[in-house]
Amino acid sequence: MDLQLDQLRALDAVISEGTFDAAARRLSVTPSAISQRIKALEDAAGRILVQRTKPVQPTESGLTVLRLARQIQLLTGDTARELGDVHQPGAARVVIPIAVNADSLQTWVIPALGRAAAGVSFDVHREDEEHTTRLLRDGTVMAAITSTAAPVQGCTVRRLGAMRYRPMAQPAFARTWFPDGPNARSFAHAPVVLFDRKDDLQFRLMRHYTRKPVDPPRHYIPSSAGFNDAICAGMGWGMIPDLMIRPEDELISLDEKVFVDVPLYWQQWRLDSPALTLVAATIAEAAAESLL
């Protein structure tokens, strides 16, 4: 296949931006030029690569070519950075899309990215740590913080540590709903705060007490800060990482002896990229300072 760099850039832009018009603005060309490049790329590949929907979606073959496009752009950006001064206006920048779970993003990841930001732009996808590997597989991201130890095909993996979560509640809430402490009956009736519908952490802890499924009232708060605020407001109990437990919130643990450790791993594409290596190193350093 004779795949041209401008065609691969067009594919990346269309998938990233969601429309041909937005891709054209990003690359400073016309929508017609984007359409022609995608058509030429599909002709070269011998198959349809994008579904022309809103937003534009890659086909299965398109995901394969998208991964190649982003690998080439990463290596091209690395080369441009080595040839120039990344601190000069207009200098070439490497774009690294990564997937990070919300609690890590809220606590220890941003300072790490800040230390690696010279000449690098980040496209951060917030996703639950149990689901970030999907974004690696389909080429959406080049690296991810995940709870999956088994490496995704074409990726390397290293353990970062673990985040410890505790069942926390506002004192008055605990007195009302857990007068005899945590037990199966209390967990079956006490309101619980969940991050989203993928959040299984609270139910994982409840199974320790109930031994069977329960269906308590629940609040969905898809924000790490908002999640904590909801618990502080007495809306329900929830699992809060040690890194986000603040004395001024005056929350109490429902059971000091019980906690859940969530292991975290760094998975990234297996590429010899100085920029990606630097990001991995700063993430690992920050994790060593913050995680168990």
Within a domain: 273: no
User: How confident is the model at residue 130, as a pLDDT?
Assistant: 82
Within a domain: 154: no
* pLDDT at 85 exceeding the cut of 80: no
Within a domain: 134: no
Number of domains in the chain: 2
pTM: 0.83
User: How confident is the model at residue 198, as a pLDDT?
Assistant: 92
Pick 250 or 85 by higher pLDDT: 250
Q: Which amino acid is at 84?
A: G
* pLDDT at 281 exceeding the cut of 90: yes
Tell me phi and psi for residue 89, to 5 degrees: -55, 135
Residue 249 is part of a domain; what is its CATH number? 3.40.190.10
Q: In angstroms, rounded to a whole number, what is the distance separating the alpha carbons of residues 279 and 134? A: 20
Instruction: Extract the tokens encoding 100.
Output: 């990070």
- 49-62: pLDDT as tens digits: 999 998 999 999 99
Q: Find out whether 160 and 291 touch, Cβ atoms under 8 Å.
A: yes
Within a domain: 87: yes
Within a domain: 71: yes
Q: In angstroms, rounded to a whole number, what is the distance separating the alpha carbons of residues 166 and 144? A: 24
Q: Find out whether 244 and 106 touch, Cβ atoms under 8 Å.
A: yes
Give residue 243's domain range. 163-262
Q: In angstroms, rounded to a whole number, what is the distance separating the alpha carbons of residues 180 and 236? A: 17
Residue 32 is part of a domain; what is its CATH number? 1.10.10.10
- 163-195: pLDDT as tens digits: 999 999 999 999 999 999 999 999 999 999 999
Within a domain: 254: yes
Contacts with 152 (C-beta within 8 Å, 6 or more apart), sequence order: 133, 136, 137, 267
Q: Which amino acid is at 133?
A: T
User: How confident is the model at residue 241, as a pLDDT?
Assistant: 97
| Same domain flag for 81 and 169 | no
